[in-house]
Structure 1
Amino acid sequence: MESFTCLLLLCLLSTSVVDCSFDRNGYFMFADFWCAAPSRNPEEVVYLVDWYFNQQLTMQYNSTVGKWTGFTPGGFITAHAFNKDEHDVLQRKLERQLICHNNVGLLYNETEENMAEPSISLHAVHTVSSHDIMLICSAYDFNPKYIKVMWLRNGQEVTEGVTISEVLSNEDWTYQVHSYLELTPDLQDGVSCVVEHATLREPKIYKWDSSLNWSDRGYISGGVCALLLGAAFLCVGVSQYRSKRCTST
C-alpha cells in the first residue's frame, strides 16, 4: 500500500508547548500533530508537530531528527529553547510512542475501511483572454484526505499558471479538490493531469485532447454560424422569388 499521512485532530496536546489562544479573528497560535506512516511497521512512523503563529508556519518538530526546526526569526529562538529543554525532548518521544507508535495498526485499519478511489474529471473553459483557456482537473469522492494533483506539459511538471483549491469535505467521509491551469493552447503540447492517492497503486495520468484548440473551435463555430445564417437568407430569398412568380402568373 502507498504511504499515507494521518492528521491527528488534536488542538491542545501539551499545555507546555501549544497555546490554542483566541482573539476576535480566531486562532493566532496553534499546532497540527501528524503521524506519517509509510507502512504498518511502528518503527517507521514519523511524528510531526507543525507550529503556526498568525497562520504562518514558524517551526516544526520531526521525530526522525529528534528536534525542532525553526523557519522564522521567532521560530528559531523558540526551537532552540525547546531543543535544550530535556523535559520537552522526553515529552516528544512519549507523544510519538503513545499517539503514533501504539496506534499505527488502528490508523491503517480505520483508513482502509473508508478508502475511496477518486473520480477524476478534466475539462476546459474560456478565460477572459481570447487566446487562453483554463483547464480544470477535479478529483471527487476520495478518502483518505491527502491527495496530490499536478500538471505535466510535454512530460515536464508545470507550476506557472497553476492554482489549486483546498481539499473540501463533502460533509460525509469523502473529499474533493480542484486544480486549475491557465495556458495558451498549442497543437504540439501534451498536457496531462496527474493524480496520486493512497488508493492508487501508481499515479493516474489524464491527458487533455488538444487536437482541436480553442481558436480553431472559434473559427469553426463562426463558420457554422455564417453558414446557417446564409442558408436562412437563401430560404427567405427563394420564398420571395416563388411568391413573386405566383403573383405575376
Structure 2
Amino acid sequence: PEAFFFLYIAVPCFLSYTFGFFMYSNFWCDVHSAERLQAEYLIDWYFNREHTMRYNSTVGHWTGLSRAGFITASHFNEDDHDGFLPEPLQLVNLLIPVEPAVDLAEAAGSGPDTRLLCAAYDFYPKRIRVTWHRDGQEVTSGVTLSEAMPNGDWTYQVRSYLDFGPGRQHGVSCTVEHISLREPKVYHWEPSVNRSERGFLVGGVCALLLGAVVLSSGLIKYRRWFCPRA
C-alpha cells in the first residue's frame, strides 16, 4: 500500500548578534511509498530571510539560488567528504511502527490432536514476540515459531503453532507484543466442535431428517387407508 511520510526540522544559527546576521536551514524528508529509492531528502538554506541554496537527494548536489548561494553551493559540491548516508532513512522508518494484524484459528492437522495457528502479519519493525498461554500460564511445550518473514513492502509476518491433545482446548490464548502496541494484545481461542463430535452431530441430524420423512410417509398412508373420505 502506498504511504507518505513527511519530516521537517528547522535549525537556526546566529552568525553575528551585533550586525544581526541570521542563518537557518530546513531539513525535509518525503517518503511517498515503501520504496527507499522514492524517498527524497531536501535541505533549504536561508541567510537573512533569503533562500540561498538547496540540496536535493534526487538531483544529488547543492543548487545555488542567490549570488552568495552559488558560491557556497559550488564549494559544497566540490567537497568529496560531504555526503548523506542512507541510514537516516532507516531511522525515519522506525518512527512509523505498523500494528500487526492477528488471526487465531485451527490449522489443518492429522490425528486426534489439535493444532492452533496464531499468525501476525503486516507489522513493522521486524521485532515481535508471540507466546501461548493456557489458563494464564505460558506454554512452551508443543510450540513451533517461524522466523519473521519480509512481505516485500517493509512489513513482516510471523506464524506460531501450538499442538495439544484432546480435551485441552479451553483457556488457550495467543499473546502478541510489538513496539506499535501500547500493551500486549491477548487473543482467546474459542474451541469449536471437534471432528469426531462434528461427525456424530451430522449423523444425528441426518437420522432425524430421515426419521421425519419416514414418519410423514407413514402418516399419509395411514390416513388414506383408515380414514376414507366422506
1:132 is aligned to 113
Q: Is 1:201 matched up with 2:201?
A: no
Evaluate the alpha carbon distance shift between residue 138 and residue 225 of structure 1 in structure 2; reply closer, same or farther with a 3 A threshold: farther
Evaluate the alpha carbon distance shift between residue 151 and residue 223 of structure 1 in structure 2; reply closer, same or farther with a 3 A threshold: same
Structure 1 gaps of 5+ residues are: 1-102
- Post-superposition Cα deviations, 1:1-55, rounded to whole Å, max 9, x if no partner, equal xxxxxxxxxxxxxxxxxxxxxxxxxxxxxxxxxxxxxxxxxxxxxxxxxxxxxxx
Question: Aligned AA for 1:221?
Answer: V
1:116 is aligned to 98
After TM superposition, what 4+ stretches of structure 1 lie above 6 angstroms from structure 2?
103-106, 235-245
Secondary structure of 1:123's counterpart equals strand
Q: Is 1:155 matched up with 2:157?
A: no
Q: Is 1:190 matched up with 2:168?
A: no
Identity of aligned residues (%): 51
Contact 2:170 2:190 in 1 (8 A): no
CA drift of 1:201 comes to: 0.9
Structure 2 gaps of 5+ residues are: 1-85
Evaluate the alpha carbon distance shift between residue 168 and residue 230 of structure 1 in structure 2; reply closer, same or farther with a 3 A threshold: farther
Contact 1:187 1:210 in 2 (8 A): no
User: TM-score scaled by structure 2?
Assistant: 0.50
- Residues in 2 aligned to 1:170 and 1:210: alpha-carbon distance in whole angstroms: 30
- Residues in 2 aligned to 1:185 and 1:209: alpha-carbon distance in whole angstroms: 15
User: TM-score scaled by structure 1?
Assistant: 0.47
CA drift of 1:219 comes to: 3.4
CA drift of 1:228 comes to: 3.5
Number of positions where the alignment pairs a residue of Structure 1 with one of Structure 2: 146
1:174 is aligned to 155
Higher helix content, 1 or 2: 1
- Residues in 2 aligned to 1:148 and 1:189: alpha-carbon distance in whole angstroms: 22
Contact 2:120 2:157 in 1 (8 A): yes
- Residues in 1 aligned to 2:197 and 2:125: alpha-carbon distance in whole angstroms: 41
Evaluate the alpha carbon distance shift between residue 126 and residue 188 of structure 1 in structure 2; reply closer, same or farther with a 3 A threshold: closer
- Residues in 2 aligned to 1:112 and 1:218: alpha-carbon distance in whole angstroms: 51
CA drift of 1:214 comes to: 5.4
Contact 1:194 1:206 in 2 (8 A): yes
Contact 1:187 1:213 in 2 (8 A): no
CA drift of 1:242 comes to: 9.2
Secondary structure of 1:200's counterpart equals coil
CA drift of 1:116 comes to: 1.2
1:77 is aligned to none
Greater relative contact order, per chain length (Cα 8 Å cut-off, separation 6+): 1
2:15 is aligned to none
- Post-superposition Cα deviations, 1:81-124, rounded to whole Å, max 9, x if no partner, equal xxxxxxxxxxxxxxxxxxxxxx99865432123x2110111111
CA drift of 1:199 comes to: 0.3
Question: Aligned AA for 1:198?
Answer: I
Question: Aligned AA for 1:121?
Answer: D
1:24 is aligned to none
